[in-house]
Amino acid sequence: MNKRENQFTKASFDPVDARHHGAIHVPIYQNSLFAFERYDQFEEAMKTLLDHHVYSRGNNPTVQYLEQKLAELEEAEAARCFASGMAAISSAIMSVVGQGDHVVCVDQAYGPTKAFLGTYLSRFGVETTFIDGSSIEQWRGAVRPNTKLLYLESPTTMLFELQDLRWCSEFARSIGAVTLIDNTWATPCFQNPLQLGIDLSVHSISKYIGGHSDCIGGIVLGSKELVERIGNTEYMLLGGIMTPQTAALVSKGLRTLPLRMQRHEGSGLQVAEHIGKQGFASRLNHPGLPSHPQYELGRRQMSGSSSLFSFLSNEPTERLKEWANRLKYFKIGVSWGGFESLVTVNRLGSDGDGGEERTSTVVRMYVGLESPTDLIADIDQAWKAV
Ligand SMILES: Cc1ncc(COP(=O)(O)O)c(C=O)c1O
């Protein structure tokens, strides 16, 4: 059975679990603490807090269920869920770096991640160099003797640039650094970075994994050793944990993740191809289409593509905003990964990125679960109107 097909079983199937009376969905353990009948049992559990159910800031069974399920899908040894993608990202970064360390990060990474690395952590003596992650020369040129972390986001989620995951992981290993990737775009369905040698993978669960635009969450996945280290420090000490209600919601949505991703992939490609033929798009950025300069790399390290993409346009920004106003099915809004299609119109070049292309307007489109035929007709009618 191929890997993609196998994801359907992994997402849908659980053995009958007698601990939960065979409940077909994991129950919501709505409790802060777990009590013991005997003091020796309590003392034993307190020795390894994260292996036992003692307190829900440490180990709640509903949250643990989701962690195990996502670890299986991403092919990771261990996982920890957090209150948001940013809680997962900041905790994972802090588990690797300390005062006097240096980080190399892709310049198109998610804005708050860049702010955390470039501004917030600099207060604590951690320096970050931002580079074009598609350039191997830039990775080589940026590292220093004190580089502890290479931070990747592949693809990036505004211009959809890729990094070569296998090369980055081997390079990091050769200099004694850890690799951490934001894998939110591809989801565990289309990219398993740990299998390509990456040390830690993070997701904003608020996107495709949650899938219903009803919750905020994050997850860190990796080896037992690295994830346990995060569990014992950042997870327990900063306390940015996922609630059991959120874990139960996400666990329900997870059943259909492979199915949704299959639909998103097909519709996303269809809509992107249509956009690529329009005069108002000067460059299309979709890693799943052969027109993307890193298409072959994408095919090597991903088994599919999701449905968030962008295009550059030389049309006046106000005209593009007016087009967005007239779209019926694409709502104007941040985020992505839910059932509903979305659009944003952005000016590039505002956060120090170089390159002339980055000074034009970039329109980011998210293709939801509606009919691609309706979405394409909507794009055309709105453009005609402006
Ligand atoms: C690529 C990417 N990573 C991480 C995040 C942060 O996730 P959250 O909003 O769940 O904190 C986002 C949110 O938009 C994102 O787009």
pLDDT in tens, 116-146: 999 999 999 999 999 999 999 999 999 999 9
The residue type found at 345 is: V
Average pLDDT over residues 59-76: 97
DSSP state of 242: P
Rounded distance from Cα 337 to ligand 1 centre (Å): 11
> Closest ligand 1 atom, CA of 217?
10
305 with 287: CB under 8 angstroms? yes
Mutate to test the pocket of ligand 1, among 82, 84, 86, 116 (most ligand atoms within 8 A of CB): 86
Looking at the predicted structure, is the pLDDT value of residue 350 above 70?
Answer: no
Rounded distance from Cα 110 to ligand 1 centre (Å): 7
Looking at the predicted structure, is the pLDDT value of residue 353 above 80?
Answer: no
What is the bridge-based pairing of β-strands 178-182 and 102-106? unpaired
CATH of the domain at 361: 3.90.1150.10
d(CA 250, CA 231): 21
Domain hosting 312: range is 257-385
Domain boundary among 238, 254, 270: 254
Co-location of 16 and 29 in the same domain = yes
Looking at the predicted structure, is the pLDDT value of residue 352 above 60?
Answer: no
Atom 12 of ligand 1: nearest residue by CA position: 204
Looking at the predicted structure, is the pLDDT value of residue 277 above 90?
Answer: yes
Mutate to test the pocket of ligand 1, among 82, 106, 204 (most ligand atoms within 8 A of CB): 204
List, in order, residues 6 or more apart from 35 with CB less than 8 Å away. Answer: none
List, in order, residues 6 or more apart from 199 with CB less than 8 Å away. Answer: 169, 172, 178, 179, 180, 222, 223, 226
Co-location of 250 and 262 in the same domain = no
pLDDT in tens, 79-114: 999 999 999 999 999 999 999 999 999 999 999 999
Rounded distance from Cα 86 to ligand 1 centre (Å): 6
104 with 131: CB under 8 angstroms? yes
Residues with a CB atom less than 6 Å from ligand 1 = 84-86, 110, 157, 182, 184, 204, 206, 216, 218, 335
Co-location of 244 and 283 in the same domain = no
Co-location of 274 and 239 in the same domain = no
Co-location of 227 and 264 in the same domain = no
Co-location of 244 and 216 in the same domain = yes
Atom 15 of ligand 1: nearest residue by CA position: 110
Co-location of 233 and 271 in the same domain = no
Co-location of 207 and 303 in the same domain = no
Neighbouring-strand partners of residue 68 = none
Domain boundary among 205, 236, 254: 254
Backbone angles phi, psi at 369, to 5 degrees: -100, 5
pLDDT in tens, 166-211: 999 999 999 999 999 999 999 999 999 999 999 999 999 999 999 9
CATH of the domain at 139: 3.40.640.10
Rounded distance from Cα 292 to ligand 1 centre (Å): 24
Co-location of 211 and 284 in the same domain = no
DSSP string, 6-39: HHHHHHH-----GGGTT-SS------SB---SSH
d(CA 146, CA 76): 28
Looking at the predicted structure, is the pLDDT value of residue 354 above 90?
Answer: no
Over its C-alpha atoms, the chain yields an Rg (Å, rounded) of 21
pLDDT in tens, 209-243: 999 999 999 999 999 999 999 999 999 999 999 99
Looking at the predicted structure, is the pLDDT value of residue 355 above 70?
Answer: no
Co-location of 326 and 221 in the same domain = no
Co-location of 139 and 150 in the same domain = yes
* Residue whose token pair is 């804005």: 111
Rounded distance from Cα 46 to ligand 1 centre (Å): 34
List, in order, residues 6 or more apart from 148 with CB less than 8 Å away. Answer: 96, 97, 98, 101, 102, 103, 177, 178
In angstroms, what CA-CA distances link 366 with 53, 104, 165, 310, 361? 40, 29, 25, 8, 16
105 with 247: CB under 8 angstroms? no
In angstroms, what CA-CA distances link 315 with 76, 274, 354, 386? 44, 17, 21, 11
200 with 221: CB under 8 angstroms? yes
Co-location of 167 and 269 in the same domain = no
Looking at the predicted structure, is the pLDDT value of residue 364 above 80?
Answer: yes
Identify the pLDDT of residue 349: 62
> Closest ligand 1 atom, CA of 156?
1
Q: Nearest 5 degrees, angle CA 304-CA 305-CA 310? A: 165
d(CA 364, CA 345): 6
Number of domains in the chain: 2
Domain boundary among 197, 232, 254: 254
